[in-house]
Amino acid sequence: MRTVRHPLQRTVGDIMGRTPATLPPGARVSQAVRLFQDERPATIAIVDSAGTLCGIVTMLDLLRAAAPREGTRATSPRSFSSRTLETVMRPGVITLEESDLVQAALELMVETRFHALPVVRRYGHGPELVGMLEQRDLLPVIIGSRPAHSAPRSPEEASTRRRPSRPARQAR
């Protein structure tokens, strides 16, 4: 007999998106804008060439960086779009691990009001990005459904499912 766990007792690794949107720290703001427009991620993870998480960028981060500060002039669109992401990203990001419970992730998202949290494996060289947990991943789990990118339960489900709504998206 199969034991059924309460949905909130599942692990983050069970439901996270395994192909998060990523860009390197040296990528330009214009590349992030294009990725937000084309793929519609909640967050873009900024990772170095070793796969180590350096920070994140959200659309709000870009808007804050573009907004003129009191007493200063607005920067030109060309100047802003050519800035590197390392100048606008949020370093020191709150992260999850694959073994964390969905309930703890839900509580953290509600408390922080974050739309997405990177999922990492911790190694000596730094946190390696392995996925992203977004609010849209949690809602189906809470109501007893499955996230669009999770594995099908049966061969029948596999043949009737639509393609995942979040395809692999790695921009470099």
| Higher pLDDT, residue 117 or 149 | 117
- Beta carbons of 10 and 69 less than 8 angstroms apart: no
Give me the number of domains the chain comprises: 1
| Higher pLDDT, residue 98 or 163 | 98
Domain with 60, as residue range(s), is: 7-160
Establish if 121 belongs to a structural domain: yes
Establish if 27 belongs to a structural domain: yes
* Secondary structure, 3-state, 81-147: HCCEHHHCCECCCCCEECCCEHHHHHHHHHHHCCCEEEEEEEECCEEEEEEEEEHHHHHHHHCCCCC
* pTM tops 0.85: no
CATH number assigned to the domain comprising residue 146 = 3.10.580.10
Per-residue model confidence as pLDDT tens digits over 105-129: 999 999 999 999 999 998 777 799 9
Establish if 62 belongs to a structural domain: yes
Establish if 81 belongs to a structural domain: yes
For the chain, what is the radius of gyration of the CA atoms? 18
